[in-house]
Chains A and B, each alone.
Chain A
Amino acid sequence: SVSVLNESTCAVHSIAFAPEYIHLALAAASSDGRVRFYSPTDVIGLTNWTASGSIEFIPGGASDSDGPLCLSWCKSRFSTKSMIVIGGSKRNKVKVYQRDNVQQWDEIYQLDSYDAFVLDIDWAPSMGRSYHLIATACSDGHIRIYKFWPEPTHLSAELTDSLFIREGDEFDNEELGSAPHVEADNGGYSDESDVDDDEDGEDASDEGSSDSDSDDDSDGSTSESGDDARPDRPGRAKGSGKKSKAKDDGSAGKAWVPRSELVGDLIVDPQVPIRRVRWNSTGTLLVSSSDDGVARMWKMSVNGTWREIAAITAEKSSAEA
């Protein structure tokens, strides 16, 4: 072994190297509720690593019964600051942290919180999309996929569109008011979560409850969901941010609030926990594996809905002896 890092006194559940665009660093989440960051002092020999910051994900510490932590770095080259998403904790929240300077990590957003353990999380490579994709795997058999915008989208896929608004435009009022499901709620989210972790009465949302229209079946007639999507989200539906506008960074007025949107809720079997989710190298394919020994591959269709395209089971087929 080259080096042993033993600052953590509890079991380490999840480790990940930072993406290659950032300097060499390692994040390790352990069951005392902390995520520790390490960097090597000697980049060639890698024998000496120092702890360079940590995040107290569960204030006040945690025990093994609080469930494992999982983490994933943001792999985008184009983010101004490095980000990491961490899931887990007593109330199974998923939060995004951003590094301001070398040692300091700040929570910038709470993505969601659940009634079940978050077992795995993965941040997709962004590949020119103006939004980020994050997938979470839970023990309630759900795989949830979120779009996440940490910053104003001034990098658009359609470079001909100007996304900067002049001073005095009624952008903020209009957009924050009209986009019904995202802005106001998530504005509320980040405020509340900053205040107090204990105040989760509102936060523990009715996730998984029946208010969403569930498609009965995966009957390929996607025109219906396409139709549904159309009137509800005129500009929001297009992730490229073609119609959405962002405030110029330098201008005075409302500060940009990170926001997210749940775009896919994939249910296999509520009794079977999903253990692992991973994106492929371009974020176009999501693979999941669960306790029933089945690995599934999911892809986004052209109207934004996620569908299973393949499943591989470790179970012996009945034809086999």
Chain B
Amino acid sequence: MQNRHTATDRFVVSRDKEAATHLSPGLFPAGRQSEWSAQNRTLIFSIHPLSNKTALAVGGKKTRESLSNDTLTFDQDQRVHICGISTESDSRLAFINDTHAVFVALQQLMEEAGADDSTASAVGIKGLVKMSVLYREAMQRQSRVLADIADPNEFIKEEAETFRAIHAVWHLLEIIYLTTNTPGLSTSIVPHFMEWLNANFLAPLAEDAHRIAGGSPTADDLARNELLWPYLKKLALRGHVSVLGNMLERLAPSQLLSASAARWARSLSQLCRKMPLSSSDETAGSFNSRWRQWNEELRGHATAIGCLLGDAGEKDGGAGGDKDKALEALFAISEVMRGDLDAIAAEGEMWQDIMGATLLYSEPTARADRLPALVGAIIEQFEESAFTELDRALVALLNHDLAEFLVHCDHIDHWLSAHISDLMDHISVLDICRRVFVVDPREHYLMALGESYLGHEDLWRVGLDYLGLCRTVAGALVMEEYVTRIPLDSDRKAEQVLRVCEVYTLECARDRIHRQLGRQKWQRGRLGAAIAHFAQVCDHDSIGLICDQIWNAYISSGELTYGPTIDGVMASSSLSEGSGSLLHHEGLQFLSKYRDFHELYAAGAFVEAGKVLLSILLCEIAPAYALGDLLVDSIPLLEGDTLVFSSEDTFELMRVAESLAQSQMRQSQQDGAIDCSEMNIFNVACTRNLARSFVMF
């Protein structure tokens, strides 16, 4: 018993952090909830079948009878509020649709790649890189759209921040697991990391550059500018070495610099130009030796400047603040570029800066597996409680702690966790996480995302796709459950839903939806459409009932107006495969032939009409209640001038009449009851016709 509880998660709602949404208007005054509860009141609710909307109302705890008669009731007791967790805002719609298309394409690509084993890995990585880039382009587009909004409110600002974070996270994952694994490219992560750093965490900003270097300042202007040295240091940290070199070159002629500062500025600028850049042609060994050379030169510079500073410090006061500042800054810059970790740590503001400079200057050929060691040392210098979710996610990713990474991604945004776990699954790095978590993370996040879209009128289709493309049993079942609850507001929407059922082969759901639509259309009088739906599910009984209804309408009105309906049904059934059985349905055949009979009769082609009538009776496709009417219809043909029915035909008619009379006597049913007088007329007509037919033939 002890053990049973230790493993249980006990979660306590913290009252301080509770940021509950208030119903508006509220049901009881603030702070008076115990009073409200003591008056036999509590909150009851019911959940919407499709979205997560909830209907809330006041409920009682004791029965009405046990309360005294003078208990008060209030207006609020009779209100029902409907609330829901907010679904996606419209600003994201384009993004969601774009990325949904990429998602679907990615699944297809991986399926095809999986099918053809020989090219699986080759197509895989390149294809994944392509897809990853497509995703990032969508994120960048969305960021631009958000940035273009004039006068953004809080929500838009948060969204912009979120998308920046999403892009940063995604980009880093792409670098670590995809770009550096692409065959043919260098596996050093450093150039990619710097690219990532500069793309996602802009520093120095373009404004700084403009403020300092814009308007072609002279060397003196530059030297006077207080923002210059911090700017140059940032350039160094971020690896913008050529720009740094240019700036130093422009600065060097300044009169405000001391001679030594100017000399070292020039010298440093030359070194900047000589910085070795890795290329894919070069071997690691040759690059390393070039790097070591360059590093040695830098070390020489740094030492020399350091000595100068030391000397200057010994002299009293010296040449003044500026020159010292310049030299100090140059010293710092050269220390940074030499790869001195303390200098880098001193200059860097963000941990990402420090990480980047450390990689670039001290381990230029580092691979992804060096990252955990480096990041661990750097993070120790920072206050972890000040980290944002983005920071935590990035650190977890650099540490290759993917489970932690996913959890933080989920805190950033649900879209992110769903798609990134999918990408990770295709890269085959998700299996590690599967062993850590209780449920499959990809399925969990995709299903959560899909469910959140279902209630949205424009995104329900996207939501269903996410559920379906989970490719798990649970996903399929949840999808089947929800697809039958999508409200079928219009024909077009119904068609879309049915298409979804077809694509994902949800037979049960398809069945239910067709039946539901059939009933709907039947009630609205669209009988042809109703028949078509019932035919899709082979519901012959319902079709039969509709045929009966058509027949009864004809009988009561006397006018045969169902012709076009039947034609439409038969035409559509000959086109579509599923309802081929329609052509064989007795009720429809009967109605169709009876219509033909009417037309022939109206056109005066009595003999043909008679043939059709007889064939209806012989094939026995007519329902029992119609037999009487058919026999009555035959009377004018029997009595007419032209001989329509031969003796055999007449005998057939009489046989039908006799069996009808017998069954009526047996069951005393009123269906198809034929009037006695009509019966007599019929019998007389038959006899006369027989006589004629004997004479003629």
- Interface residues of chain A, those whose CB is within 8 Å of chain B, are 11, 125, 127-129, 157, 159, 180-182, 185, 205-206, 209, 211-218, 220, 222-223, 225-226, 228-230, 232-233, 237-240, 262-269, 272, 275-276, 278, 280-282, 284-285, 287, 289-297, 299-318, 320
- Residue from A159, A182, A266, A310 in contact with B11 in the complex, judged by beta carbons closer than 8 Å: A266
Task: Decide yes or no: A291 and B37 within 8 Å by CB, A181-B3, A238-B438 being known contacts.
Answer: yes
Q: How far is the CA of A290 from the CA of B20 in the complex (A)?
A: 14
Task: Decide yes or no: A218 and B7 within 8 Å by CB, A282-B481, A302-B438 being known contacts.
Answer: no
B2 contacts A by Cβ under 8 Å:
yes
* A278 pairs with B45, CB closer than 8 A: yes
**Cβ contacts B67-106/A at 8 Å (1 or 0 each):** 0000000000000000101000000000000000000000
Residues of B within 8 A of A226 (CB): 403, 436-437
- Residue from A206, A213, A268 in contact with B13 in the complex, judged by beta carbons closer than 8 Å: A268
Residues of B within 8 A of A318 (CB): 30
B10 contacts A by Cβ under 8 Å:
yes
Task: Decide yes or no: A282 and B451 within 8 Å by CB, A304-B9, A306-B11 being known contacts.
Answer: yes
* A128 pairs with B11, CB closer than 8 A: no
Supply 19 further A-B pairs (C-beta < 8 A) apart from A238-B439, A310-B21: A127-B474, A127-B478, A213-B6, A215-B9, A229-B7, A278-B45, A285-B52, A289-B43, A290-B43, A293-B36, A304-B9, A311-B18, A311-B20, A312-B21, A315-B27, A315-B28, A316-B22, A316-B30, A317-B30
Q: How far is the CA of A318 from the CA of B474 in the complex (A)?
A: 44
B404 contacts A by Cβ under 8 Å:
yes
Residues of B within 8 A of A300 (CB): 439
Q: Which of B176-184, B186-194, B406-414, B583-591 contacts A (4 or more CB under 8 A)?
A: B406-414
Minimum CB distance partner of B441 in chain A: A302
Residues of A within 8 A of B13 (CB): 218, 266-269, 296, 308
**Cβ contacts B531-560/A at 8 Å (1 or 0 each):** 000000000000000000000000000000
B14 contacts A by Cβ under 8 Å:
yes
- Ordered by A's residue number, 24 sampled pairs between the chains whose C-beta atoms are within 8 Å are A129-B474, A181-B7, A212-B6, A220-B407, A228-B7, A238-B438, A240-B439, A264-B8, A267-B10, A280-B52, A285-B47, A289-B43, A292-B33, A294-B20, A294-B43, A295-B83, A302-B406, A302-B439, A304-B437, A304-B438, A304-B439, A305-B9, A312-B21, A320-B25
* B403 pairs with A282, CB closer than 8 A: no
**Cβ contacts B24-62/A at 8 Å (1 or 0 each):** 111111111110110001111111011010101011010
Q: Which of B141-149, B276-284, B442-450, B594-602 contacts A (4 or more CB under 8 A)?
A: B442-450
For the complex of A and B, 6 pairs with smallest distance between CB atoms: A316-B26, A304-B438, A128-B474, A317-B22, A311-B20, A314-B27
* B477 pairs with A128, CB closer than 8 A: yes
Residues of A within 8 A of B403 (CB): 223, 226
- Interface residues of chain B, those whose CB is within 8 Å of chain A, are 1-15, 17-34, 36-37, 41-47, 49-50, 52, 54, 56, 58-59, 61, 63, 83, 85, 403-404, 406-407, 410-411, 436-441, 444-445, 447-448, 451, 472-478, 481-482, 485
Min CB gap B243→A, angstroms: 41
Q: How far is the CA of A265 from the CA of B28 in the complex (A)?
A: 29
Q: How far is the CA of A240 from the CA of B443 in the complex (A)?
A: 12
Minimum CB distance partner of B389 in chain A: A220
* B473 pairs with A128, CB closer than 8 A: yes
* B406 pairs with A212, CB closer than 8 A: no
Q: How far is the CA of A211 from the CA of B12 in the complex (A)?
A: 15
Minimum CB distance partner of B37 in chain A: A291
Min CB gap B213→A, angstroms: 44
- Residue from A280, A293, A299, A302 in contact with B27 in the complex, judged by beta carbons closer than 8 Å: A293
Q: How far is the CA of A233 from the CA of B8 in the complex (A)?
A: 11
Residues of A within 8 A of B404 (CB): 223
* B11 pairs with A218, CB closer than 8 A: yes
Residues of A within 8 A of B63 (CB): 11
